[in-house]
Structure 1
Amino acid sequence: MRLKPSRRQLLGLLPDRLVLVRGPRTPGALYLTFDDGPHPEHTPRLLDLLARHGARASFFLVGQRVERHPALVERIVAEGHALGNHSYSHPMFHQLGLRQQLDEVERTDRLLSNFDHAGSYRFRPPRGSMSPALLLAFARRGRGIAYWSYDSLDYQSRSPGELAGLLARRPPADGDIVLMHDDSGCAAQILERMLPLWRAGGRHLLALPKVRA
């Protein structure tokens, strides 16, 4: 459920301003992140759930879906959550040239800035696929990439109850960035079980720190 050790160790050698694998290790801190939204059915359910438990999260949004569902993005921002960039069309990044990859990122940056005016966003590559060329281009621009340190596995063909059981038996550590997805009901069903347990145990559900200008 955690990022593979070899990959985590390699990414962990890079500075957090370039590649963020874990958040600040404040006691009790846990960073929920949701990829692939916004979705007209699943995003409202997640937002309602987070609001009931006083939790904040980071939403890594796909540009095409931002265009289709702007009211959901407005709600994400209004309720205190953070926006992240998950490309414009969620393509197979390794099949694109560098210029095409950058176009996917830059187009989504422009869309997101219409909602919170931040201008700079953490980028999470689709499927975690990050080429050395794109990493170098980001380093030159001082651009941040967000990975994760704990995978909820909510994209697998397992029941939400089974996945919640795994989270309970192997809980995230302080500072873990938890990977979840906003394109099915699985994440919400897992969190309906886990958020009360986490809050009762003193966990703080936080959005990722803001990108420094």
Structure 2
Amino acid sequence: MLKKIPFRRIRWPGWVVLIVIGFSFIYGMAQLVEAIRFDPDSEASSSPRIDFKTESTDTDTYTMSIETPVMEDPQINKPLNDWIKEEKEDFLKRVKENNKELGDGYRAHLIIQADSRQSTDDTYSFLFHSYQLVNDVRGKEHVKTFTLDGTEKKFIKLPDIMTTNDEMIQTIRTRLQGQPNAKIQEALKDPASWNWTLNGKALTLYFNEIEEAGPTRVEVPIHAILHYLHDKTADDLEVAEASIGMEEKYVALTFDDGPDPHVTPRILNVLKEHDVQATFFMLGSQAEKYPAVAKSVAESGHEIGNHTDHHKDLTKIGREQMVQEVLSSRQKIMATTNEIPVMLRPPYGEINRDVETVANDNGTSLVLWSVDSLDWKNKNAAAITSVVQKEIAPGAIILLHDVHSTTADALPTLLTTLEKEGYRFLTVSQLQSKLAAETASPFYGNMKKG
């Protein structure tokens, strides 16, 4: 079920910008690097060291790219490794069953992405996103989560930290309106089996059984379930919630229409110098044309989204062609980056009901923007910085393009200027997670480029 989550811009005269988002694995899926560790200076001394290793397999009939968390305690590693082993065995079984259809350029794919983060002082969440494409168009997607009690060094279920009575379950059910009731009943009957993560802002649930398109993501604000949490967990989360600092000036940089062999590498260098991670909405045709550049974006740790295959206005083409634009681009981006683009930015920001349906059917979130740099129009470095500086506010999503040399020219000054004004940069998924606001009527803005 596609949800529309707008952002409130904290700026006079104040206007609300729409970000249409439904299914998403964006919380944490953005920054997938080979070594992710908790900072020992900022976490408790009991924090486990968590590394990630990547296994890649490339054969004539299938490819596999699997990220695995690795910790010093083998007993903690075992449940994670066992689940990954099951995924691999299931995938290889399907490959064997469809062996006649594979080969001659058509291969099956298994991609498992992993992330980890600290939930409270003593608990840590592991989030796995598995995508299998064997002999179908859409592929098979699902999410698996594990939550570790760092003190006890054991994995816990949701009923271990909160009361999961009928009243609490009804709170979840109300957020699944519009879904088939029978499937909801089945999905909700065993809270101990739920896939979940928890932080100071929300309880996030992932139900794999409700929609054929992929997992259904439900986010419940922390204030709505705080009284169900056991005392210690509630106390830890209240501290975490207080420390979030909602007045902090977070924004997201986004780049459309690439990758470009000349401009994109320049932009990556500037982002690296400033230690900034951004979101790149790629055209599938460009990713296919410049695979090495596309791969370098992913290897630099940036988030990757889908901007369709050939930058056509989706609202002006037929449903079948619309699906082709989205899925073909997705396949090309996956092939070159080994990343699953779970966000879609429609060209020109044009959206209608069919676009929303196609995005929903393919487990993709629709993402727009709130600040248009006008780099596509002005093509002047000073003007780009001036426009962004004038329009920016905390929570902004900034539209840029990694196909104009003037954008690369402007970026060093733009970043330096915004940093001096106290802004910090996140990927779109990180910003959505941090600033998912309860706002009123959505507003699209003047979105004629992108």
TM-score (norm 2): 0.41
Write the mapping of 1:88-103 to structure 2, written as runs, cut at 5 A. Answer: 88-103=309-324
Distance in 1 (CA, whole Å) between partners of 2:381 and 2:360 is 38
Cα displacement (A) at 1:141 = 4.7
Letter in 2 for 1:44: P
Which residue number corresponds to residue 327 of structure 2?
Answer: 106
State yes or no: 1:30 paired with 2:251: yes
Cα displacement (A) at 1:10 = 8.0
Letter in 1 for 2:398: V
Which residue number corresponds to residue 147 of structure 1?
Answer: 368
Letter in 1 for 2:420: A
Query: Which one of the candidate residues 404, 414, 420 is aligned to 1:184?
Result: 404
How has the CA–CA distance of structure 1 residues 141 and 66 changed in structure 2, closer, same or farther, with 3 Å as cutoff?
closer
Cα displacement (A) at 1:11 = 3.5
Letter in 2 for 1:208: V
Mapped contact 2:385–2:410 kept (Cα < 8 A)? yes
Query: Which one of the candidate residues 427, 446, 450 is aligned to 1:207?
Result: 427
Cα displacement (A) at 1:32 = 0.3
Distance in 1 (CA, whole Å) between partners of 2:425 and 2:16 is 25
How has the CA–CA distance of structure 1 residues 17 and 92 changed in structure 2, closer, same or farther, with 3 Å as cutoff?
closer
> What is the CA deviation profile of residues 118-157 of structure 1, one whole-angstrom value per residue up to 9, with x for unaligned ones?
4342001111122221213333554301100111111113
Query: Would you tell me which structure has more helix in proportion to its own residues?
Result: 1
Distance in 2 (CA, whole Å) between partners of 1:100 and 1:158 is 32
Letter in 1 for 2:358: A
Mapped contact 1:49–1:192 kept (Cα < 8 A)? yes
Higher relative contact order (CA 8 A, sep 6+): 1
Mapped contact 2:306–2:345 kept (Cα < 8 A)? yes
Query: Which one of the candidate residues 282, 285, 306 is aligned to 1:64?
Result: 285
Mapped contact 2:277–2:426 kept (Cα < 8 A)? yes
Mapped contact 1:152–1:178 kept (Cα < 8 A)? yes
Which residue number corresponds to residue 82 of structure 1?
Answer: 303
Letter in 1 for 2:411: L
Q: Which runs of 5+ in 1 are unaligned?
A: none
Which residue number corresponds to residue 193 of structure 1?
Answer: 413
Distance in 1 (CA, whole Å) between partners of 2:16 and 2:365 is 18
SS in 1 for 2:328: helix
Distance in 2 (CA, whole Å) between partners of 1:92 and 1:29 is 30
Mapped contact 2:22–2:360 kept (Cα < 8 A)? no
Distance in 1 (CA, whole Å) between partners of 2:360 and 2:340 is 17
Cα displacement (A) at 1:204 = 1.6
Cα displacement (A) at 1:79 = 0.8
Letter in 2 for 1:153: L
CA RMSD after TM alignment: 2.7
Mapped contact 1:33–1:58 kept (Cα < 8 A)? yes
How has the CA–CA distance of structure 1 residues 92 and 198 changed in structure 2, closer, same or farther, with 3 Å as cutoff?
same
Over the matched positions of the two proteins, sequence identity in percent amounts to 27
How has the CA–CA distance of structure 1 residues 26 and 88 changed in structure 2, closer, same or farther, with 3 Å as cutoff?
farther
Which residue number corresponds to residue 17 of structure 1?
Answer: 22
Mapped contact 1:87–1:126 kept (Cα < 8 A)? yes
Letter in 1 for 2:372: D
Mapped contact 1:18–1:145 kept (Cα < 8 A)? no
> What is the CA deviation profile of residues 29-86 of structure 1, one whole-angstrom value per residue up to 9, with x for unaligned ones?
1100000000111101111111111111111111111111111111101111011101
Query: Would you tell me which structure has more strand in proportion to its own residues?
Result: 2
Query: Which one of the candidate residues 371, 385, 388 is aligned to 1:167?
Result: 388
Query: Is the radius of gyration larger for structure 1 or structure 2?
Result: 2
Query: Which one of the candidate residues 350, 357, 360 is aligned to 1:136?
Result: 357
Mapped contact 1:58–1:208 kept (Cα < 8 A)? yes
